[in-house]
A and B are shown apart, each in its own frame.
Chain A
Amino acid sequence: KNEVEQSPQNLTAQEGEFITINCSYSVGISALHWLQQHPGGGIVSLFMLSSGKKKHGRLIATINIQEKHSSLHITASHPRDSAVYICAVGGQGAQKLVFGQGTRLTINP
């Protein structure tokens, strides 16, 4: 079993739908990262959190440390949100990250 599991692996939705991507982990962590990777593109950091909730525009990330679970939500989804979303967790020092397999999101117009 992977240390970091994401679900679903693939998600297709219509423009405007509310999107939820889940991440569960089995190791103790200092921080959890959500990353975005566009097709053929590089990887950018969306959120880094160790507790509670963070919001940036239409994106919201939450984490429940006790349940070892995090969710990434996208409100009013748009085709430009189509990308692979990656969850990664870090232990002591938080630089050595363990990555989930990613969730491929496709938003159709």
Chain B
Amino acid sequence: NAGVTQTPKFQVLKTGQSMTLQCAQDMNHEYMSWYRQDPGMGLRLIHYSVGAGITDQGEVPNGYNVSRSTTEDFPLRLLSAAPSQTSVYFCASSSTGTGYYEQYFGPGTRLTVT
């Protein structure tokens, strides 16, 4: 199992450019999520999905878009990059159900917007 994979690992964008951060998992997890991590702050939830075709907003969704066409993939789109989106982005996945489940994180994407 590759677990959770993210591409690219590093990216530099100019203000106003758009791009897509890729996330894939091979564990057949229903739940997937995107977080951003900024210095001095905890991880913050951007968007999440509880299954193919179902997405919802997290704590900081503005400027980001997601879709979930398959169980495996959960791409994050930056519509028009801004310097405030400079951050490290983590994708995570887990099982779902009535219990509680371990979350598996990808290696992260370090994004710089100039």
Contact = CB atoms under 8 A, between A and B. Distances in A.
Interface of A: 2, 4, 30-31, 33, 35, 41-45, 48, 50, 86, 88, 90, 93-102
Most A CB contacts (10 A, CB to CB) among B40, B42, B94 go to: B42
A16 B103 CA distance: 30
B111 interface: no
B37 to A, nearest CB: 9
A35 B35 CA distance: 14
30 contacts: A2-B42, A31-B100, A33-B102, A33-B103, A35-B105, A42-B90, A42-B105, A43-B105, A44-B105, A45-B103, A45-B104, A45-B105, A48-B100, A48-B102, A50-B100, A88-B42, A93-B96, A93-B100, A94-B100, A94-B101, A95-B50, A95-B103, A96-B48, A96-B58, A97-B43, A99-B35, A99-B42, A99-B44, A100-B42, A102-B42
A100 B100 CA distance: 19
B33 interface: yes
A42 B106 CA distance: 7
B102 to A, nearest CB: 5
A62 to B, nearest CB: 17
Interface in B49-82: 50, 58
A96 B34 CA distance: 11
Contacts of A102: 42
A37 B106 CA distance: 12
A95 B51 CA distance: 13
A95 B33 contact: yes
Contacts of A4: 42
B106 to A, nearest CB: 7
A35 B102 CA distance: 10
